[in-house]
Amino acid sequence: MEFSSKLLQNAVNEMAQLPGVGKRTALRLVLHLLKRPKNQTEEFAKAITQFRENIKLCKNCHNISDVDLCEICSNHKRQTEIICVVEDIRDVMAIENTSQFLGHYHVLGGKISPMEGIGPHQLTIESLVDKVKAGKVEEIIFALSSTMEGDTTNFYIYRKLKDFPIRMSAIARGISVGGELEYADEITLGRSIINRVPFEQSIKNTH
Ligand SMILES: [Zn+2]
């Protein structure tokens, strides 16, 4: 793509670094910004910069938060002894939308994936083990997507925790295999949390 303007080229190149945005889409978006009032572009840039500068990870559940302890962790009505293990904030949002879960979350920040070079130590697994060691956890619910990476991650955590006196369960797989939680409809996802099964049983079903 040949540009007559260096400024335009820079803007397009930056925009095109976003996932799913090719050069042509980037050009369309940048030209769109040019048509809008200047202050709208400033607001847009400010929102992104402030998000990046000020966003925190909750010190308890590692979810994305504006404050040190997220709204869910600081809500005294939530059950601290039940922890739902998820990959990222999209899963938290999907499960919260069902209104069927009143416990806490533990956000791993990804899944174990040798292909992508993600090992257990890059995730927040140790912090989950510490919570269980502290003796205040009664149940862990695995709610990772049922991909190979999800299964590997579940099993890794299960082995780390199996000697502690806690229940471990997995959300019932009414959700289509390989379907990500964020795409499941609320009723199906809500039911799969209520009808969760003991973890050992869930691995027998899938293997
Ligand atoms: Zn939190």
Q: Are residues 117 and 17 in the same domain?
A: no
Q: Are residues 35 and 128 in the same domain?
A: no
> Taking residues 141-164, what's their average pLDDT?
92
Q: Are residues 161 and 91 in the same domain?
A: yes
| Exposure of 159 in the CB half-sphere (CA atoms within 13 A) | 6
Q: Are residues 147 and 77 in the same domain?
A: yes
Q: Is 197 exposed, middle or buried (0-12, 13-18, 19+ CB in 10 A)?
A: middle
Evaluate whether residue 136 is within a structural domain: yes
Q: Are residues 89 and 130 in the same domain?
A: yes
Write the CATH number for 35. 1.10.8.420
Q: Are residues 144 and 195 in the same domain?
A: yes
Say which residues have a Cβ less than 8 Å from residue 164's Cβ, sequence separation at least 6: 132, 133, 137
Evaluate whether residue 185 is within a structural domain: yes
pLDDT band at 185 (very low <50, low <70, confident <90, very high): confident
Evaluate whether residue 32 is within a structural domain: yes
86 C-alpha to center of ligand 1: Å? 12
pLDDT tens profile 6-36: 999 999 999 999 999 999 999 999 999 999 9
- Tokens at residue 27, please? 């050009």
Count: domains in the chain: 2
Evaluate whether residue 60 is within a structural domain: no
105 C-alpha to center of ligand 1: Å? 7
**What's the pLDDT score for residue 35?**
96
Which domain range does residue 26 map to? 6-54
176 C-alpha to center of ligand 1: Å? 28
- Is residue 106 left, alpha or beta, with left meaning phi > 0 and alpha meaning psi from -120 to 50? beta
7 C-alpha to center of ligand 1: Å? 41
Whole-prediction pTM = 0.84
84 C-alpha to center of ligand 1: Å? 12
Q: Are residues 34 and 125 in the same domain?
A: no
164/132 Cα distance (integer angstroms): 8
With a pLDDT cut of 70, the percent of the chain lying above it is 92
Q: Are residues 95 and 182 in the same domain?
A: yes
Q: Are residues 37 and 94 in the same domain?
A: no
The average confidence (pLDDT) of the chain is 91
Q: Are residues 13 and 95 in the same domain?
A: no
pLDDT band at 172 (very low <50, low <70, confident <90, very high): confident
Q: At residue 21, what is the residue type? A: V
Evaluate whether residue 1 is within a structural domain: no
Q: Are residues 76 and 153 in the same domain?
A: yes
Write the CATH number for 124. 3.40.1360.10
pLDDT tens profile 32-56: 999 999 999 999 999 999 999 999 9
65 C-alpha to center of ligand 1: Å? 8
Backbone phi and psi for residue 162, each to the nearest 5 degrees, phi listed first: -65, -20
Q: Does the pLDDT at position 127 exceed 90?
A: yes
Residues with CB under 5 A from ligand 1 (ion): 58, 60-61, 63, 70, 73
155/159 Cα distance (integer angstroms): 6
CA terminus-to-terminus distance, the chain: 49
pLDDT band at 177 (very low <50, low <70, confident <90, very high): very low
